[in-house]
Amino acid sequence: MLLAISGGPDSLALLLLAHQARPGQVVAATVDHKLRPESAQEAEFVSDLCRDNNMPHMILRPAQPISGNIQSAARAARYALLEQAAQDHACAFIATAHHGDDQLETLLMRLARGSGVDGMAAIRAKNGRIIRPMLGFSKAELEEICAAAGIEPVRDPSNDNPDFDRVAMRQWIAQATHPFQIERTNRTASALADAADALSWMTAVLAAERTTQVDSAITCDANALPRELQRRLLLHCISQLEPSLHPKGEAVDRLLVELEAGKTAMIGNILCRGGTRWTLTPAPPRRDGG
């Protein structure tokens, strides 16, 4: 099992517990995104800690500088590096230190954004080879584990920056009197994940029965289906023609309205014709207006 260890209290608690539960069966990895001057020293701190406890450790750094949407790009680079490291070291799983407070923050953030079933499934306990064994723990419990071991964790200043949505939500939760409990929050997220999996399974069955592709044209019969299944079939057809296109919920909802009205509309580079059956084709090349 590969452990993703940043040096913060959450991941250090994961490191300590995993080493105790599975001695000799874990490998630790720290991703240094090189976004802060202190990051190299923090990675070395984890490396020293692992060496002192006879645990193998590696420091992973992205080949290209992180740019654009920093949080999103850093996350993509982090998981790509962890996946490659797990493959190189024959690790069946990659464990991250997401905990119960993270789950609550994610659920409330998704709710605020108007997410559907997939988004409200929040942080899954298992997603491919990624596992999250700490979801049943609170942040305070993980801090206590580090304190009991006499370890002072790394503190990332970005975790206190309210310009980030998650930090703003975390601070709001800390200031509010609320009834949320970790066990119940995880139960809700798990139920929604099960519902999302069921809908994905049903969509695959319907796609086989109700869609036909000839060359680059897809015909879809979504007539009389529940709206969520119509929406998922539409997304399936879009992904078949343009895999890199990931339209947001509002754009898909608008397109559904157009198709149900028998109109023709565009999404990405796909021309969509509505009616009782939908037809999706790549849009014809644009003429040069010159």
Distances (CA, A) of 253 to 221, 248, 258: 17, 9, 9
The answer to whether the CB of 108 falls within 8 A of the CB of 173 is: yes
User: Going residue by residue through the chain (290 aa), what tens digit of pLDDT does each one get?
Assistant: 999 999 999 999 999 999 999 999 999 999 999 988 999 999 999 999 999 999 999 999 999 988 888 888 999 999 999 999 999 999 999 999 999 999 999 999 999 999 999 999 999 999 999 999 999 999 999 999 999 999 999 988 878 888 888 999 999 999 999 999 999 999 999 999 999 999 999 999 999 999 999 999 999 999 999 999 999 999 999 999 999 999 988 999 999 999 999 999 999 999 999 999 999 999 987 766 54
Tokens of 242: 């343009």
Q: What is the pTM of this model?
A: 0.88
The answer to whether the CB of 44 falls within 8 A of the CB of 19 is: no
pLDDT for position 156: 81
The CA distance from 233 to 255, in Å, is 13
Long-range contacts (CB closer than 8 Å, 24 or more residues apart) made by 153-156: 153/7, 153/8, 153/9, 153/12, 154/6, 154/7, 154/8, 154/42, 154/45, 155/8, 156/6, 156/8, 156/36
DSSP assignment of 141-199 equals HHHHHHHHTT------GGGG-TTSHHHHHHHHHHHS-----HHHHHHHHHHHHHHHHHH
Phi, psi of 99 (to 5 degrees): -125, -175
The CA distance from 245 to 37, in Å, is 36
- The residues, any chain, with a CB within 8 Å of residue 128's CB and separated by 6 or more, are none
Phi, psi of 54 (to 5 degrees): 55, 45
pLDDT for position 290: 47
Domains of the chain: 2-188 (3.40.50.620), 215-282 (3.30.465)
